Amino acid sequence: MQNYILSLVFLFSVLIAQAQIPIADAKTMAVGSTVTVRGVVTCFDEFNTSLRYIQDESAGIAVYDPDFIDDTITPGTLIEVTGSYEPFNNLSEIVSLTDLQVLTQEDIPQAETLGSLAAGFQETWEGSLVRFEGVTFVDSGNFNSGSDNYTITDGVTEQTVRVWGSTDIAGTPIPSEVINIVGIMGQYQDTYQLQPLALTDFDFGDGAPVFLTSLNQENITSSSFDITFETLMPGSTVINYSTNPANLSAEASDAALVTDHSITLTGLSPATIYYVQGTSIGSNGASSVSGVQVMMTASNSSGRMDVYFNRPVDNGAATIENAVYLNQTFADTVIHYIQSAEETLDIAIYNVDNNNGIIDAINAAYDNGVAVRFITDFETSDNNYNQVAIGASNKKKGPEPGFQNSPSGGSYRLMHNKFLIADANHSDPNKPIIMTGSTNWTDAQINTDANNLVIIQDQSLAKAFEVEFNEMFVDNVFGPEKTDNTPKKFNINGKEVELYFSPSDDTENKIKQTVNSANHDLYAAVFSYTRFGISFEIDQLIPEGVFVAGIVEDTIGSDAQFAFDVIAEDVPGQWILDENSYILHHKYLIVDAHAPNSDPQVLTGSHNWSNSAQFSNDENTIIIHDASIANQFYQEWKRRFTDSGGNIFAGINDLQTPYAERFTGLFPNPVKQKLRIRYEADKPENAVLSIFNTNGLLMETIEFNAASGLNEWFLDVNDFAAGIYHLQMQTDSKFVTGKVSVVK
């Protein structure tokens, strides 16, 4: 009888555990308890593709399970789940689901408006949609393109906002206005985090224009440049600027109320840094103000660019000019440019030795009266560092790895820069030189490992590098404590060049933007590669018809293997591991090398595609928009690929014509219901439009008969889940691609 009673008690407890209960009750259960709850989904895949928050009248909670959560579980869906209650880093979650039932479609719960930040950042509201009024961001500038934390205040307390890289908030300007904000309350360890889902969760109640983009610099000359930006609501255009960031006394303005803003600054000086701030005033007098940005005019320099490689290249792939292989003479090249300095020489190099006489050359420049300054990494050997005989006050090492500075407490890793600046402020604009690339100044890096050097004669670029150098050398600011204080865009003898420093400039976002500019082909050669977000961006180009190939040196560790596999699984034989005996030390990306009319680009520098490069190291990255430079790097890439056993070049040739074009007419984007597609046809032709989701799944195929001239079609996306979709249209003569965001 006793065993029978115990069995009944056990059965009763199991039934209780599996009966549907309020979410608030589930959150009081013991860890590991099996619970069944029912709630309305309040997010999509903003936080994780396998995670959804659900909410009932009592509370909210996260649900995580890769086997049950997919694109069909969308905001507003009422679901019932059975699984194990197991908090993750103190965030209440239901995991290891044994059942998930989709019931009906409901209205998304309205966010609860809370009186203060202190009242809302509490366990009671964890997992729920909440709203706060009258808050401001403490931070300024732009939201990072990746996931990051920011601080808001209501004037009494400060709390944390978590902006996820997968939302449309990432990369946009941080609001400077007082706003109302909506989000799901999350938790990570001991910190509650408000998680907005989209830009629409920022409510600018006073009717201010609101900056949707940063200030963009265009049409750069030695005496002028254009500034463009967008606002949410119509407003005037006011630009204040000066060479002195503390006194932006000059002004250019246009009273017209617009959302697409453009204005030209004239009467500027060559190779000069200008500090620029935008203001837009709406019809009701409410204003929005941008952050201060740093911009540079063009110089009167020659703009000469030379690229060198220290391993053999394939000149058979040359289409404009041969790439230059310097056989065991990289050191001579470095020494030559050290010796060319007449007035000043600033060097930031991760590591150096004197096996090839480079330190001797630095010392000789100093002895000849050149003002030499030198920064290297903390872990450069004392023997090599002490050989740099330029005076103790003219040299320094970066901080020790693990060093943490206030206020952010970001952990420092490496002074990993590789650049030389000669004569940045010389009176002759044809004297300043910048040397950068992937090469450290050690014997193995100079003579054995695969590396590149890029030498540019341009005063504007030299002055921009000098700002970064001074931040480290003069201000003693390194790594996560650096600010975004350098110009980004340059006109160098008619070539567009971009410059970014890590970790202040969100370089990974620039890598992704360069990836997404590819219309035809993309090649990579990367030493250390763990940032799989870049892999996803590259992988999404493949169904759009972009030819993708790469060679990777370092796949040690699970993150690196995953980053490699994301692409390698979709283009077998085209994304390979380096099999050479030497180290593939490059960090470059080539875009549209075989499409000269599609903005060919090369991205290179010291920045590996790694966590340390993005968040902890001092790094430099340069992007050169030029067909000849892209082809020279392609000659190098092809030889490295071949030397590792790669053989895909017939496929590359097959793709050269016609190359993919981008849709120029997809409206609105993002879209909720109907997408308008416009296409300009040169002649009557057949067209097949295919729509893929981000997993490469074909969602829909539509056949058209395109007439000569402008064609317009509508695509109903009501049944599409929220997310990114890729469009491919094959006509008789062209391959056209595009990307659209569906929102609900």
Exposed, middle or buried by CB within 10 Å (0-12, 13-18, 19+), for 325? middle
pLDDT for the residue numbered 718: 83
Parse the chain into domains and list their residue ranges.
2-105, 112-203, 216-296, 305-483, 500-654, 661-742
- Picking from 450, 452, 447, the residue whose alpha carbon sits closest to that of residue 329 is 447
| Interatomic CA distance for residues 265 and 227, integer angstroms | 8
Q: Which residue has the higher pLDDT, 5 or 159?
A: 159
Q: Taking the chain, what is the end-to-end CA distance rounded to the nearest angstrom?
A: 58
Q: Which secondary-structure segment (H or E) carries 270?
A: none
Q: Convert the pLDDT of each residue in 495-524 to its tens digit.
A: 999 999 999 999 999 999 999 999 889 999
Return the CATH fold of 500-654.
Answer: Endonuclease; Chain A (3.30.870)
Per-residue confidence (pLDDT) for residue 678, from 0 to 100: 81
pLDDT of 9 higher than 60: no
**What is the predicted pLDDT for the residue at 657?**
35
Pairwise CA distance, residues 525 & 576, whole Å:
10
Q: What is the pLDDT of residues 218-255, one digit of tens each?
A: 999 999 999 999 998 999 999 999 999 999 999 999 99
The domain made up of 2-105 is a member of CATH 2.40.50.200: yes
Label the pairing between strands 202-203 and 191-195: unpaired
371 Cβ contact list (under 8 Å, min separation 6): 343, 344, 345
Cα(94)–Cα(88) distance, rounded to whole angstroms? 10
Poorest-pLDDT segment among 51-60, 379-388, 563-572: 563-572
User: Which is more confidently placed, 305 or 115?
Assistant: 305
Q: Is 136 left (phi over 0), alpha (psi -120 to 50) or beta?
A: beta
Task: Give the C-alpha separation, 46 to 712, whole Å.
Answer: 32
One of 2.60.40.10, 2.70.170.10, 2.40.128.110, 1.10.3260.10 is the CATH number of 216-296, namely: 2.60.40.10
Rounded to an integer, what distance in angstroms lies between the CA atom of residue 385 and that of residue 378?
10
Structure tokens at 682: 């040169």
Of residues 136, 227, 215, the one with CA closest to residue 174 = 136
Distance of CA 300 to the CA centre of its chain: 32
Q: What is the DSSP letter of 295?
A: E
Domains 305-483 and 500-654 fall in the same CATH topology: yes
Is the N-terminal amide bond of 234 cis, ω within 30° of 0?
A: no
Please tell me the distance from the alpha carbon of residue 634 to that of residue 590, in angstroms, as a whole number.
7
Query: Coil, helix or strand for 509?
Result: helix
pLDDT at 409: 53
191 strand-pairing partners: 188
CATH of 661-742, picked from 3.40.190.10, 2.60.40.2550, 1.10.490.10, 1.10.10.10, is: 2.60.40.2550
- So what's the pLDDT on residue 713? 81
Does 733 have pLDDT greater than 80?
Answer: no
- pLDDT tens profile 248-289: 999 999 999 999 999 999 999 999 999 999 999 999 999 999
| pLDDT for the residue numbered 610 | 94
In this prediction, residue 492 has a pLDDT band, given cuts at 50, 70 and 90, of very high
Q: Of 357, 318, 361, which is closest to residue 338 (Cα–Cα)? A: 361
Which is more confident, 471 or 668?
471
Average pLDDT over residues 588-596: 93
d(CA 307, CA 437): 9
Residue 10 is predicted with a pLDDT of 42
Q: Identify the CATH number of the domain defined by range 112-203.
A: 2.40.50.140
Residue 277, CA distances (Å) to 143, 227, 231, 238, 287 in order: 17, 10, 14, 8, 13
pLDDT tens digits, residue range 27-42? 999 999 999 999 999 9
Q: Residue 394, class by beta-carbon neighbours within 10 Å (0-12 exposed, 13-18 middle, 19+ buried)?
A: middle
The pLDDT, as a whole number, for residue 696 is 55
Q: Is the pLDDT of residue 585 over 80?
A: yes
Tokens standing for residue 679: 């296409």
Reading the block at residue 605, the tokens are 């520098």
Q: Is the peptide bond before 670 cis (omega within 30 degrees of 0)?
A: yes
Which CATH superfamily includes the segment(s) 305-483?
Endonuclease Chain A (3.30.870.10)
Q: 93 pLDDT band (50/70/90 cuts)?
A: very high
Distance CA 106, CA 200 (A): 20
Percentage of the chain exceeding pLDDT 70: 93
pLDDT in tens, 427-471: 999 999 999 999 999 999 999 999 999 999 999 999 999 999 999
Give me the mean pLDDT over the 164-186 stretch. Answer: 92
Mean pLDDT of the chain: 90
Token duo for residue 636 = 């190098």
Over pLDDT 90: what percentage of the chain? 72
Given the structure tokens 């701030």, which residue do they identify?
277
